[in-house]
Structure 1
Amino acid sequence: MKNNLFIIYIASFVLVAAGLKAASAVVLPFLIAIFLAIIVSPLIDKLVVIKIPRILAFLIVVGAIFTSLGLIGSVVIKTINGLLTHLPELQVKFKAFSDELAIYALNYNLDVTPFMQSDLDPNKIFSTLTAFLKGSTEIVGKGFFIFLLVTFMLFEKHIFVQKVEYFETKNPQTKGMVDTFTSNLKRYLAIKFLASIATGMIVFIGLEIIGVAYAPLWGVVAFVLNFIPTIGSVVAALPALLVAILLNDISTAFYTFVLYVVVNITIGNFIEPKFLGKGLGISTLVVLLSLLFWGYLFGLGGAFLAIPLTMSLKIALDANPNTKFIAVLLSDKVEK
């Protein structure tokens, strides 16, 4: 009987995952809107407390967000335009650098030519970068639709609260689940946002001092990719290191590498865990697997939402005695 139940769980999981992937164009904006509404809602509530009408409080918060994004976007676009003008030069220099590296390796009887022609092919690298930018553009392109979803969610917040109270009469665990989810999500995103800002600012200032080109862009990239756990900060360092090698020299690239290592170790391994405390109860292995899983389902957006989505899934599974064992598998500890 238990084996049959386990098979049913696996089959249901596969069907749900396939459905989510097929409907990702609709599901992803909806999920982003939910998380944004949860983040923005407390800011609006604080303005309402000081006697500002809710509609005006909403416009103030949204206006501040869009103004900040506009300022950052203008800097990024200006920097990207400058980068695009030097793209042919970068490709030529990268080809020369890879050839020199292959010759250097041959002195030690290492033939890295196949690796250079496949994994380090300039056309492949820059096409991957283009695909990444395209994925980011698709998310931004749905911004207006997401904005409408967030607007209606915020205006129907009181109705949602009433629905939670109703379901609590049917299942006493409902309110606890919702409160746990929202409090953990707000805490995680607030700390992650502040840590990402600190990461981006330090990277930008450090690269400016070192003399790496397009430092504002790499600072924004470090800020954005820091939201992707574990691998985001590593990926953010690669383009800056590549530009430092091609447009500067090895010593500049070394200082750039040291800067990223120090920033990521200090903020990612000490400051973030200190403020997160016990964290969200998800094991490190599950974090990595969640990046692969949600990234497969929703692409780049899934990678950014991997932790909140996995946390939501864990809370839901933990509430049901029949699926609690799955929540234990996702957890970073076992409560006896």
Structure 2
Amino acid sequence: MNVARPRLPLPRGLVVLVGMAALVVVVAGLRAMGDLLGPVLLALILTIAVSPLAAWLRRRGAPVLLATIAGIVAAFLVLAVLAGSLALAVAELATRLPDYSGQFDTLLRQATGLLEQLGVGQAQVEDALRQLDVGSVVGVLQDVLGQLAGIASDLLLIVLVVLFMGMDAVQFHGRLGAVAAERPDVVTALASFASGTRRFLWVTTVFGFVVAALDVVVLLVLGIPLAFVWGLLAFITNYIPNIGFVIGLLPPALLALLEGGPGPMLLVIVLYIGINFVVESVVQPKIVGDAVGISVTLSFLALVFWAWVIGPLGALLAIPLTLMAKALLIDVDPDNRWINVLITARPPSPVATAGTKQKQAGPE
């Protein structure tokens, strides 16, 4: 009689290598489909953000059709504000810059004189000036506007996906309830992802309003044109973790330079750093980390990673996408949840962890 030999477990090193190889393949596939995934994931996050509205209407006895329409309209309004704000900021800056051609030439002459005093050759200065003028800056902004016009197809895709997701979202909670009996860990992970995403959006929105209001006050006091436009841009870029305030700083700093020279520009930069950097890079990441359960370091690395994988939308959706990956790869499997201790913003104390293990083990 043949006796079956016991199967030997694979070496852990081999398992790690195979997992890393699979991860590389998955990331390469995501990057290859970035142009498609970006709009779809944005539509998903918008649907999750507005889903409490439809759920609230259903609890109040509203018909399913009314709750669905309300959720879809709310998502469309958020999308219109996002896209319209970015387009307005770029368009206003591109329209204003040609009016400052004289100031721009004066600043270039002053910079040329300073470079010559520092020993930079005249030929090098002239070569640099031939490549740098206000027309080139306007050309870059016009290219950006052209790209914004080119993503009209993406906006159409987002609208359609939001429409269909909104139709399914009203009844999705009931479907999760039906699945919970057989796959409770999956339902818990998905619910954690949705609630964490909403907490992130809520906290970021509150901080965005605070930062935008303070920025507008500063710009109005300094007399910088289009203060409310740049405040709106600061609010939108607040959703980009860690470096969003830098993107919102560039247009008002440039206008301050053209309006009054280096002094006002430096003042705008210092005040923006005092407001935006302290709030968005010190206070907000700590609160966001506590709200969504990821560390500040992980949020920054997520920004770099998702921006590289799916482009600018990846930077905007870095935290929600990280929460999705965490739910699908860690929270869904009880054996992997120990990783949360390493990546969370505030890990549990050893005493609490030991108490949890004793409860799970039960009395001896």
Shift of 1:189: 0.5
**Given the superposition, is the C-alpha separation of residues 260 and 190 from structure 1 closer, same or farther in structure 2, using an over 3 Å criterion?**
same
Shift of 1:32: 1.2
Structure 2 residue runs without a partner (length 5+): 1-10, 351-364
Does the 8 Å CA contact 1:32/1:146 hold for their aligned counterparts? yes
1:207 aligns with 2:257: no
Please tell me the root mean square deviation across aligned C-alpha atoms, in Å.
3.6
**Please, which of 223, 237, 244 is the counterpart of residue 232 of structure 1?**
244
- Structure 1 residues 54-90: Cα deviation after superposition (integer angstroms, max 9, x where no partner): 4334434554665677688778767755543443344
Moved more, 300-309 or 247-256: 247-256
**Given the superposition, is the C-alpha separation of residues 140 and 231 from structure 1 closer, same or farther in structure 2, using an over 3 Å criterion?**
farther
| Count of residues paired in the alignment | 334
**Please, which of 300, 310, 313 is the counterpart of residue 288 of structure 1?**
300
Shift of 1:221: 1.6
Does the 8 Å CA contact 1:284/1:332 hold for their aligned counterparts? yes
Residues of 1 paired with 2:112 and 2:141: CA distance?
Answer: 23
Provide the secondary structure at the position in 1 that maps to 2:181: helix
**Please, which of 191, 196, 199 is the counterpart of residue 187 of structure 1?**
199
**Match of 1:6?**
16
1:23 aligns with 2:50: no
Shift of 1:328: 5.4
**Given the superposition, is the C-alpha separation of residues 234 and 270 from structure 1 closer, same or farther in structure 2, using an over 3 Å criterion?**
same
**Match of 1:248?**
260
Determine what percentage of the aligned residue pairs are the same residue. 27
What does residue range 1-336 of structure 1 map to in structure 2 within 5 Å? 1-60=11-70, 62-63=72-73, 66=76, 83-90=93-100, 93-94=103-104, 96-107=106-117, 117=128, 121-122=132-133, 129-130=141-142, 132-134=144-146, 136-138=148-150, 141-157=153-169, 159-265=171-277, 267-268=279-280, 272=284, 276=288, 278-319=290-331, 320=333, 330-332=343-345, 335=348, 336=350
**Given the superposition, is the C-alpha separation of residues 203 and 165 from structure 1 closer, same or farther in structure 2, using an over 3 Å criterion?**
same
Structure 1 length normalisation: TM-score? 0.81
- Structure 1 residues 16-67: Cα deviation after superposition (integer angstroms, max 9, x where no partner): 1111122223222221121111111101222333343343344345546656
Shift of 1:219: 1.7
Shift of 1:278: 1.9
Moved more, 40-49 or 324-333: 324-333
Residues of 2 paired with 1:85 and 1:276: CA distance?
Answer: 36
Structure 2 length normalisation: TM-score? 0.76
Shift of 1:245: 0.4
Q: Which amino acid aligns with 2:24?
A: V
Residues of 1 paired with 2:249 and 2:328: CA distance?
Answer: 36
Q: Which amino acid aligns with 2:27?
A: A
Structure showing greater radius of gyration is: 2
Structure 1 residue runs without a partner (length 5+): none
Does the 8 Å CA contact 2:87/2:148 hold for their aligned counterparts? no
Q: Which amino acid aligns with 1:223?
A: F
